[in-house]
Amino acid sequence: MISKKEIIDFFKDIIVILLVVFVIRTFFILPFQINWQSMYTSYYDGEFIIVDRFSYRFLHKPNRGDVIVFKPHVSQEKQYFLKRIIGLPWDKIKIEWWKVYVFSKSKNKFIELDEKYLSQENNKATYVSWDKWSHIYEVPEDSYFVMWDNRNHSTDSRACFSSCYIDWSTNFIKTDDITWKLFLDLWYFRISKFDFVHPALWIITKPKWFNTSSEYDYWI
C-alpha cells in the first residue's frame, strides 16, 4: 500500500518538474515548427527548430544576420514570423537592381551584402517591388529591417509584411517584437515512414544541431 509520504513526494516531484519546464520555456528555449517555405533553402516547411530567448534578454542585442522569431502584428492567424535581420538601428539599407547593400560608415559608401546562404534562385534577385528598381530604407532607432531567405516567394520588411497600404504600417520591427533567436535546427522527421525525407521537396533534411545557420557575418 502506498504511504502518505510517497504520495506527497510524488506530487512534490511533479511540481518541481513543472516549475523547471516553465522556467526553461519562459526564459531559455522553446520548440517551434516552421510553417511555410519562407526561409527556403536555409530552413524548410515542417522542420522543427529550437529557439533561444536567453541571448537577447541577458547576453547581447540582435545582430545583423541573425535568424529570429518575432511578432509582426499584421495577422491574427500568423502571430509569429521567422526572418533574417538585414538592417540594424540607424542603418541605411539599399536595394538596387536585385542586390542588397548596407551603408558602411567606416568606408562611407554602400557595400553589397555577401548573402551566400541564399539559394541560386534567390541570390542577387531581391526586388523592391515589381515597378520599382531602387529604394533606400533608413532604419529608425530601436528598430530592425528583416527579410526572408526565399526572397521571391514571400513578404517581409520591403512590403511592410503585406500591410504597407495600412496607415500605421511600417517597414521595420521593434526590438520588443523580437521574441526569440533560432538556436538549433532539428530536421523534418516523418514518423509514419521513419525517415527524414521531406514529403513536398523529396530531399533528405538532416539535423544541423550546432551547425545551424542561425547567424551570418557579412564583414562590412
Using the predicted structure, report yes or no on whether residue 199 has a pLDDT greater than 80: no
Long-range CB pairs of 105-111 (<8 Å, 24+ gap) are 111/220
- The answer to the question of residue 215 being in a domain is no
Using the predicted structure, report yes or no on whether residue 142 has a pLDDT greater than 90: yes
CATH of the domain at 39: 2.10.109.10
- What is the arrangement of strands in the sheet containing 92-96, beginning at the earlier edge strand? 109-112, 99-104, 92-96, 134-138
- The answer to the question of residue 211 being in a domain is no
As separate numbers, helices (DSSP H) first and strands (DSSP E) second, the chain gives 2, 11
The question of whether 116 is a catalytic residue gets the answer: no
CB 212 within 8 A of CB 185: yes
Catalytic residue among 3, 4, 38, 143: 38
The pTM for the full model equals 0.81
Cell of residue 134, nine digits:
531602387
Catalytic residue among 83, 143, 181, 214: 83
- The answer to the question of residue 88 being in a domain is yes
pLDDT band per the 50, 70, 90 thresholds, residue 210? low
The question of whether 38 is a catalytic residue gets the answer: yes
Total number of domains in the chain: 1
Q: What spatial distance separates the first Cα and last Cα of the chain, rounded to whole Å?
A: 70
- The answer to the question of residue 220 being in a domain is no
- The answer to the question of residue 202 being in a domain is no
pLDDT band per the 50, 70, 90 thresholds, residue 27? low
- The answer to the question of residue 130 being in a domain is yes
